[in-house]
Chain A
């Protein structure tokens, strides 16, 4: 009896030491899980999740403070990817969002723009070009569609426009839903 108790005590002490050593020896400075989560987020920096950007949201998920279904631009695909990474159950997109939105980009009506640079300061990815007193314009290929520039504009000249589909961005539909599809009606100018 005594031997057994002794043996177990010694063993647990040994393993405890081992664990303690490993914790020091293999200490990881950064939180790798936050990096991995950040890599899955769409980096639109839109703040729709309630955090000031993708990185803070990733850190919040890693700490267990935030749920995985708050990323609106990422949509269900991101939720599924996060669930996969973290071994959690995927759940529908949170918030009042009813399904993923189509991809949008900001558009500045240059006739109305007064060159106040407020939108420049709001853009998290520096995708708006312009200077004080000069009209601004959006670099479409860099715009993440975060909508952060819409609210600050004092004259309301920024609108979100859906990215139109081109031959390069068109995707084959999922077959179970449809085996044949109809195109948009041909343009009128085609006639003739």
Chain B
């Protein structure tokens, strides 16, 4: 009787990457629900459009590269990229914008580098930045929360806006959109107003952007759940949020009239989404524990710098890409001390 030979270990955990990717999406669900509550259905349609574009382009590229299509699609990584990009775009973004961004993310940032596991940059953020640079007008057309506009945008109106550019009844998208809270703050400071004066504007809620603060709260919750479920480690989020709070605290302490509070920075813009869902993309992030802290802190600090002194209202996407660039170097210099090796 002959038996099969194989190397140890003969045990392993059966659940693999699909479970991890599913959990990431589960963790996003509460935030999506809050998003829909404040800003109507746009985000859901964005996510759907992005998902279709992502899966289609991934399948096409895999086919062209002669790789097995089905298992790669089933791992859920393309879907996560699509969902993250869908969440990052303004809610009434035209369908072609979402599609272009997603296709660029999957084709250029991911597959051309060799597919999952080989991309040096976060695909969703590459897609986002390409759109931000190419279509600045569409990318800054944000919806105010519904209790500010005074009317509900229905599901059908959203669909119409995304696919035709008009909400129907002659109402254009431009007519209902406005600047995001961070943009409002930047413009206000630029006009020599103090932070307190700007924050009086109705775009702002009790501690962050109106509506946004609750979306961010849900993202924080989802992020903590992911840490609990060991989908991500605490290092990168702690680094991002810690770095952001620290630098915000310093400048807020120097001049509270010019520099917004750390709390405001945490709960507006993409800080939470970035800290828990984007910077934690393991492929393009650091892998050593200390490296992850540094990587996160770098993102937090760069985000603040771009928000405060840069030309764009938010800086999470740029900071993530910049730190992606530095990740291998950081990893190299932050290797943990191996058992039995000296402490030097």
Contacts and interface: CB of A to CB of B under 8 A. Distances in A.
Q: Check A-B contact in the complex, CB < 8 A.
A: yes
Interface of A: 172, 175, 179-183, 185-186
Contacts of A186: 2
Contacts of A183: 2, 5
A85 to B, nearest CB: 24
A56 B30 CA distance: 73
A180 B2 contact: no
Contacts of A181: 5-6
A66 to B, nearest CB: 36
Given A183-B5, A186-B2, 14 more contacts: A172-B7, A175-B7, A179-B6, A179-B7, A180-B4, A180-B5, A180-B6, A181-B5, A181-B6, A182-B2, A182-B4, A182-B5, A183-B2, A185-B2
Contacts of A182: 2, 4-5
Interface in B1-24: 2, 4-7
A176 to B, nearest CB: 13
Which 8 A-B residue pairings sit nearest by Cβ, starting from the closest? A180-B6, A180-B4, A181-B5, A180-B5, A183-B5, A179-B6, A182-B5, A172-B7
A179 to B, nearest CB: 6
16 contacts: A172-B7, A175-B7, A179-B6, A179-B7, A180-B4, A180-B5, A180-B6, A181-B5, A181-B6, A182-B2, A182-B4, A182-B5, A183-B2, A183-B5, A185-B2, A186-B2
Nearest to B1: A186
Nearest to A182: B5
Interface residues of B, number: 5
Interface of B: 2, 4-7
Contacts of B4: 180, 182
A30 B93 CA distance: 71
A16 B2 CA distance: 76
Nearest to B4: A180
A183 B6 CA distance: 11
A135 B4 CA distance: 46
Contacts of B5: 180-183
A186 to B, nearest CB: 8
A175 B6 CA distance: 10
Nearest to A172: B7
A187 to B, nearest CB: 13
A175 B4 CA distance: 15
Contacts of A179: 6-7
Contacts of B7: 172, 175, 179
Contacts of B6: 179-181
A185 B5 CA distance: 12
Contacts of B2: 182-183, 185-186
Nearest to B7: A172
A45 to B, nearest CB: 38
A71 B4 CA distance: 38
A177 to B, nearest CB: 13
B117 to A, nearest CB: 14
B4 to A, nearest CB: 5
A185 B2 CA distance: 8
A181 B2 CA distance: 12
Contacts of A172: 7
A149 B2 CA distance: 42
Nearest to A175: B7
**Residue in A175, A180, A185 with the greatest tally of chain B CB atoms within 10 Å:** A180
A126 to B, nearest CB: 41
A133 to B, nearest CB: 51
A179 B7 CA distance: 8
Nearest to A180: B6
Nearest to A179: B6
A179 B10 CA distance: 11
Nearest to A173: B7
A118 B2 CA distance: 48
B25 to A, nearest CB: 30
B10 to A, nearest CB: 11
A186 B6 CA distance: 17
A89 B5 CA distance: 38
A181 B5 CA distance: 5
A172 B6 CA distance: 10
A129 B222 CA distance: 77
